[in-house]
Structure 1
Amino acid sequence: MGQVLVLGNAGLDLTLQVPRLPEKGETLLGDSANSAPGGKGLNQAVAAARTGAQVVFHTAIGRDSQGAEIGAALAAEGMTELELHQAPYSSDFSLLMVLPDGENSIVSMGSCAAALTEETAEIFSAKANAADVVLLQGNLTQASTLAALATATARGATTLLNPAPLWWDVGPLLPLCDIVVTNRGEAEAITGLSEPTEAAAALCRLGASMAIITLGAGGCLTSDCEGTTRHYPPVRIRAIDTTGCGDTFCGVFAAVLAMGLGQETAINLAQGAAALTAQRRGAFTALPSRDELAVLVARYRSL
């Protein structure tokens, strides 16, 4: 069984329930304010660890009370290796605005994540072996993400990129991606194609060996470099808050791949785990527990 190596951001999430998104120049009242550890890197690493994979997680935090809170939360997750690089900035944070139908919009600050250097990324990925999955997101700089992917590829590891948030050109990195995972909007932003099947195929033409596009209530679809497309139906639920669903999907998917259970099982398990997240509020606070994920894994192992 391989490990999941996650190099990504960690911060605090401030969540507000809002009736709608504010108009330009408008002050809008929200309610049910809540704060918790978060960040795509942190959430995905925690989801992978709770699935039962051995997880190596490196991230950057500030030298402040928020950084100490983040570190304490991560220390409780029992990861194989945890390294917190201290950056000369305030710890990163995100503002999550959640609409009544469970959909969300997010604004993030990422100075600490952006401070992770190319050298740090190369040293991190040099830990990977052929059985491992190296999981990255879009919070680091393009140069550091490229360095991590290139080193992981040279080591023979499986490379998995979830490029959100999109703040630099993803295209040059796709040839280094065994798997790229996006949602519908991100796929359109990268490829210019609004139809998900066409966008998934375009991601592969741009260099990814396999593309997965998550479709929320529509499940997800995959495309590979041979032109094969497949749709995976959703788990039928009543969504309350979709904030952490993508992170749950990516973390569980990477964990199941590293555990050697195959891509199809990984996708089905990841969708089942994301459905659990969608049925409660928050991101980190909505991640499935170890016990919940153990039940899911056991169910699919028995099929």
Structure 2
Amino acid sequence: MSRVLVVGSINMDLVVETGTFPRLGETLFGQGFATHAGGKGANQAVAAARLGAEVTMLGRVGDDAFGRELKAGLAAEGIATRWVTETPGVATGVAAITVCNADNAIIVVPGANAALSPSDLNAVEAAFAEADVVLAQLEVPLATVEHAAMLAARHGKPFVLNPAPATQLPPALLAQCTLITPNEYELAAALGEPAARWQDLLARLPGRVAMTKGSEGAYFSDAGGVLRHQLGFPVKPVDTTGAGDTFNGALVAFWPLGLAEAVRRGCAAGALSVTRSGAQGGMPTLAELNAFLGSQS
């Protein structure tokens, strides 16, 4: 299994369930409340660790109860947290999520995630030298992601970017990505081509895109530009939250097996994750993934 460095966000999700969304100025009674560990960076780190990768997390939390709880939770998953910095005077990142039937409304407050800087990465450059693959997302400052890509390149390490939330990527950053892992909408946004066919966009970056497409699985091309389709695995979904993060964590966990096999296992892990509730709560272990794959043959 690979040694994975995840550079990214660490959040606490605050989830309220209600029968209707409140109007401006209105107070309602809710039906439930829960807190869940989240943040794309932390989610993907947990997914990779549960699948057997040796994972190091590089990020920031606040010097508060949420930060201490999240850092301890990552450590309990076997993730190295020596480079998860507690940030004085800044709150841990949160996502306030109101759930009503099948819909939700979300407010994300980046908090300490916004304080993760290029200088933080310079201070722990050894982490890049020690990794087999570096994984990042876009819930921390773009300048920090760009610097992570540069440090990965300096040490000859593959740099995998999950370009979410969706935004257009600077050409210099895109050029330093070994692989990007968008969904269809994120791919169009990343390349600044909202009206283009996704097949044409994949053809522009042969061997450098693995695009997820929900229950259809994933599409990618080999180095020669030949389009490949990894079929999705049929399951009965319970909660699709975190499926993309599970795919990304699995992809880097199985990176040494080659892109096609890593994508296959990523799709299987993502499918398995939606059969249980919660983002991190649904992420499978290596034993569970192997049993699931065995049942598909």
**TM superposition score normalised by structure 1:** 0.84
Asked if residue 197 in structure 1 is aligned to residue 199 in structure 2, the reply is: yes
Letter in 2 for 1:255: A
Instruction: Show CA shifts across 1:100-141 (max 9, x none).
Output: 56x866442213112111122234454334971100010111
Say if 1:82 and 1:23 are closer, same or farther in 2 by CA, change over 3 A.
Answer: same
Say if 1:230 and 1:96 are closer, same or farther in 2 by CA, change over 3 A.
Answer: farther
Report deviation, 1:224.
Answer: 5.0
**Counterpart for residue 43 of structure 1:** 43
The answer for unaligned runs of 5 or more in structure 1 is none
Say if 1:149 and 1:67 are closer, same or farther in 2 by CA, change over 3 A.
Answer: same
Question: Do 1:14 and 1:93's aligned partners in 2 also have CA atoms closer than 8 Å?
Answer: yes
User: Of 263, 273, 277, which aligns to 1:277?
Assistant: 273
**Counterpart for residue 236 of structure 2:** 238
Asked if residue 54 in structure 1 is aligned to residue 50 in structure 2, the reply is: no
Asked if residue 210 in structure 1 is aligned to residue 212 in structure 2, the reply is: no
Structure 1 residues 46-55 or 225-234, which shifts more? 225-234
Q: Distance in 1 between matches of 2:196 and 2:33?
A: 34
Asked if residue 254 in structure 1 is aligned to residue 252 in structure 2, the reply is: yes
Q: Distance in 1 between matches of 2:252 and 2:154?
A: 19
Question: Do 1:104 and 1:241's aligned partners in 2 also have CA atoms closer than 8 Å?
Answer: no
Q: Distance in 1 between matches of 2:194 and 2:108?
A: 24
Q: Distance in 2 between matches of 1:193 and 1:269?
A: 31
**Counterpart for residue 95 of structure 1:** 96
**Counterpart for residue 144 of structure 1:** 144
**Counterpart for residue 282 of structure 2:** 286
* Residue aligned with 1:210, SS: coil
Q: Distance in 2 between matches of 1:279 and 1:171?
A: 38
Letter in 2 for 1:93: V
Say if 1:31 and 1:211 are closer, same or farther in 2 by CA, change over 3 A.
Answer: farther
**Counterpart for residue 13 of structure 2:** 13
CA RMSD, Structure 1 to Structure 2 (Å): 2.9
* Residue aligned with 1:288, SS: coil
> How do 1:155-234 residues align onto structure 2 when only pairs under 5 Å count?
155-166=155-166, 169-190=169-190, 191-193=193-195, 195-202=197-204, 204=205, 209-223=207-221, 226-234=224-232
* Residue aligned with 1:269, SS: helix
Q: Distance in 1 between matches of 2:224 and 2:19?
A: 44
Q: Percent identity?
A: 32
* Residue aligned with 1:84, SS: strand
Question: Do 1:135 and 1:160's aligned partners in 2 also have CA atoms closer than 8 Å?
Answer: yes
**TM superposition score normalised by structure 2:** 0.86
Report deviation, 1:37.
Answer: 0.9
Q: Distance in 2 between matches of 1:182 and 1:114?
A: 22
Q: Distance in 1 between matches of 2:188 and 2:22?
A: 24
Q: Distance in 1 between matches of 2:281 and 2:141?
A: 27
Structure 1 residues 26-35 or 92-101, which shifts more? 26-35
Aligned length in residues: 292
Question: Do 1:62 and 1:112's aligned partners in 2 also have CA atoms closer than 8 Å?
Answer: yes
* Residue aligned with 1:42, SS: helix
* Residue aligned with 2:44, SS: helix
Q: Distance in 1 between matches of 2:158 and 2:12?
A: 29
Structure 1 residues 146-155 or 119-128, which shifts more? 119-128
Question: Do 1:122 and 1:148's aligned partners in 2 also have CA atoms closer than 8 Å?
Answer: no
> How do 1:54-73 residues align onto structure 2 when only pairs under 5 Å count?
54-73=54-73
Q: Distance in 1 between matches of 2:97 and 2:32?
A: 12
Instruction: Show CA shifts across 1:240-288 (max 9, x none).
Output: 221101110000110100xx22211111111111111111221122222
Structure 1 residues 233-242 or 135-144, which shifts more? 233-242
Letter in 2 for 1:133: V
Q: Distance in 2 between matches of 1:253 and 1:104?
A: 28
* Residue aligned with 2:219, SS: strand
Instruction: Show CA shifts across 1:216-253 (max 9, x none).
Output: 12211113564322121111122222110111000011
Q: Distance in 2 between matches of 1:268 and 1:65?
A: 38
* Residue aligned with 1:182, SS: coil
* Residue aligned with 1:220, SS: strand
